[in-house]
Amino acid sequence: MKSAHFQEKKIIMLIIDTLMDSSLEAALKSGKAPAFQFFIEKGQYYSNLVSPFPTMSVNVDSTLLTGVSCDRHKVPGLVWYNQKEKRIVNYGSHFRELVKLGLKQSMEDILFNLNHVHLSKEYKTIHETLNEQGIQTASINALLYRGSNPNILKIPFLVSLFTGITRTVKSYSPDLFSYGATHRLNPLKRNSYFWQKYGFNDQFSVNELIYLISQNKLPPLTIAYFPDLDQSVHKNGRTNIKGIQNVDKELQKILNQYASWEDALTNNIWIILGDNGQAWIDKNRNEALIDLRKLLNSFKIVKLKKGITPQDEIVLGVNERMSFIYSLDSQKVPLDALVRILQTDNRIDVIALKKDRTITVTSGIHEGHLYFHPQGDYIDEYGQSWFVKGSQQILDLKIVNNKIKYGNYPDALARLYAPFFSHDGEYIIVSAKPGYEFIGEGSPRHVGGASHGGLHMQDSLVSMIICGTDSTPKYLRTLDIKDWLVSLVK
């Protein structure tokens, strides 16, 4: 192992699900977030870190860990259709959908396949990269955690009983690893009973992190995941202060482990960031929910419980404010026919499909088409080159002197391009305007609250606080964080 003098400061990265400027600013103004206030005053604050698309945690965290987009890491979203296995993969959109798809299969996807089958082995996670350099890392409650050490997840008895999954599941984890009740660092059982989501809560994450701090066991890099704010924003909306206040109380517990809050900064670099944002959802249920089953009712749509049958024509992979729509036979059901129907709904702002390497984008709002692919005459603000032709307003692009500027859809071209090369199949990608979300057979609904998945800046921009270093990622994108972390550890 690398000796301690190689790296003076330990890096503690806290991923707070749905940490974004609108709710954080509201909480700071109310004076109810002293820990956040402390970190911001002592460090650098950014309100515009760009998440990958689809803006769903599994895709975002896969990108963060591997440093590549979903065209390479191969985790397309929370819900997608696996053409090879002819089945829908769902990592936990809603319990209703998991039951219909089969709890055993769903739990295997969540607990094993996500990290060890679907996440590409061609691209190393930060845990694997640093392990090769002899540097220890820790992962606490992160959905994506793949490391180099063989390990066993111990599945709680009731979970095994109700789902049929075995009591032990093999995994490969970082040196120090915590994953709810299935694998813990702190020998004391806290916050991990079934009514506490078996440890997948903020308090469990904090207890595990405090254990490492108090035992002087912090490795050079620790990644800890805080899941609770997400549900609070889903329910209460983009400016929800209560959720931020609850997270702040947990941050205070961590800071209080040190002789003083200032002392917490002496030997640590703190990085606190969100994974995805959330867009507001209308209070009118009939208006807010875009029911793709009704919109596409002239086609035979796969029923979750029945699985794929010979009569089926299309599959829905609904990711809240974004959806994959698959044609099972593009001769019988051409994607263009689906696009024409989707264009009639003015709640859908982005409708895209792929032909060879060109993406064609239309809209339920704007007339015309936009065509784009990589390697052209136009350069965007991230140094990426593009061929672009057609109606720029569809993706709110501005091109001046061969330079592309992004508006309501940050890094739109690269982020929309990647999912089309993330998995096999003939499919359309749709994204909803703020105010609306897609639903399928058993989808979650967030009427009057907030939701994510979409390409819009409300879904895509998250907050990041960096404390203890003047260094920043090359670009303010989740995509650029892995390389930056590796440079900080060295």
The DSSP result for 258-305, as a single string, is SSSHHHHHHSEEEEEE-S---EEB-S-HHHHEEEHHHHTTTS-BPPTT
Pick the CATH number of 9-75+119-281+455-489 from 3.40.720.10, 3.50.50.60, 1.10.8.60, 3.10.580.10: 3.40.720.10
Give the C-alpha separation, 185 to 406, whole Å: 44
Give the C-alpha separation, 316 to 303, whole Å: 9
Task: State residue 6's pLDDT score.
Answer: 44
Q: Any bridge partners for residue 324, and if so which?
A: 317, 429
Are the C-beta atoms of residues 9 and 218 closer than 8 Å to each other? no
pLDDT band at 186; cut points 50, 70, 90: confident
User: Using alpha carbons only, what angle is made at residue 294 by residues 293 and 296, rounded to the nearest 5 degrees?
Assistant: 70
- DSSP letter (8 states) at residue 388: E
Residue 115: helix, strand or coil by DSSP? helix
H or E element at residue 211:
helix 202-214
Window from 86-100, 107-121, 264-278 with minimum mean pLDDT: 86-100
* Residue 47: pLDDT over 60: yes
pLDDT digits (tens, 9 = 90+) for 372-424: 999 999 999 999 999 999 999 999 999 999 999 999 999 999 999 999 999 99
The structure's pTM equals 0.95
Percent of the chain with pLDDT over 70: 96
Are the C-beta atoms of residues 299 and 407 closer than 8 Å to each other? no
Give the C-alpha separation, 261 to 186, whole Å: 23
Query: For the chain, what's the residue count?
Result: 490
* Residue 192: pLDDT over 70: no
Which tokens go with 233? 């924003």
- DSSP letter (8 states) at residue 433: P
* Residue 346: pLDDT over 70: yes
* Residue 85: pLDDT over 70: yes
- CA distances to 10, 143, 181, 234, 485 from 219, rounded to whole Å, are 7, 19, 22, 34, 14
pLDDT band at 118; cut points 50, 70, 90: very high
Task: State residue 478's pLDDT score.
Answer: 98
Report the candidate in 110, 118, 79 with the shortest Cα–Cα distance to residue 429.
Answer: 79
Higher pLDDT, 169 or 7: 169
Task: State residue 190's pLDDT score.
Answer: 64
Write down the domain spans for the chain.
9-75+119-281+455-489, 285-448
Give the C-alpha separation, 147 to 126, whole Å: 8
* Residue 242: pLDDT over 90: yes
* Single-letter amino acid code for the residue at 343: Q
Provide mean pLDDT across the span 267-279.
96
pLDDT digits (tens, 9 = 90+) for 255-266: 999 999 999 999
The DSSP result for 425-450, as a single string, is SEEEEEEEPTB-EEE-SS----TTSE
pLDDT band at 183; cut points 50, 70, 90: confident
pLDDT digits (tens, 9 = 90+) for 419-464: 999 999 999 999 999 999 999 998 889 999 999 999 999 999 999 9
Report the candidate in 311, 342, 302, 330 with the shortest Cα–Cα distance to residue 440.
Answer: 302
pLDDT band at 191; cut points 50, 70, 90: low
Give the C-alpha separation, 177 to 198, whole Å: 16
390: CB partners within 8 A, 6+ apart: 368, 369, 370, 371
* Single-letter amino acid code for the residue at 129: T
Higher pLDDT, 197 or 371: 371
- CA distances to 155, 164, 293, 337 from 160, rounded to whole Å, are 6, 5, 33, 44
Provide mean pLDDT across the span 316-336.
96
Task: State residue 124's pLDDT score.
Answer: 98
Burial label for 187, CB within 10 Å (0-12, 13-18, 19+), is: exposed
Task: State residue 264's pLDDT score.
Answer: 96
Task: State residue 158's pLDDT score.
Answer: 80
Window from 77-86, 160-169, 324-333, 346-355 with minimum mean pLDDT: 160-169
Which tokens go with 2? 């690398």
* Single-letter amino acid code for the residue at 337: A
Average pLDDT over the chain, rounded to an integer: 93
Residue 289's φ and ψ, nearest 5 degrees, are -95, 120
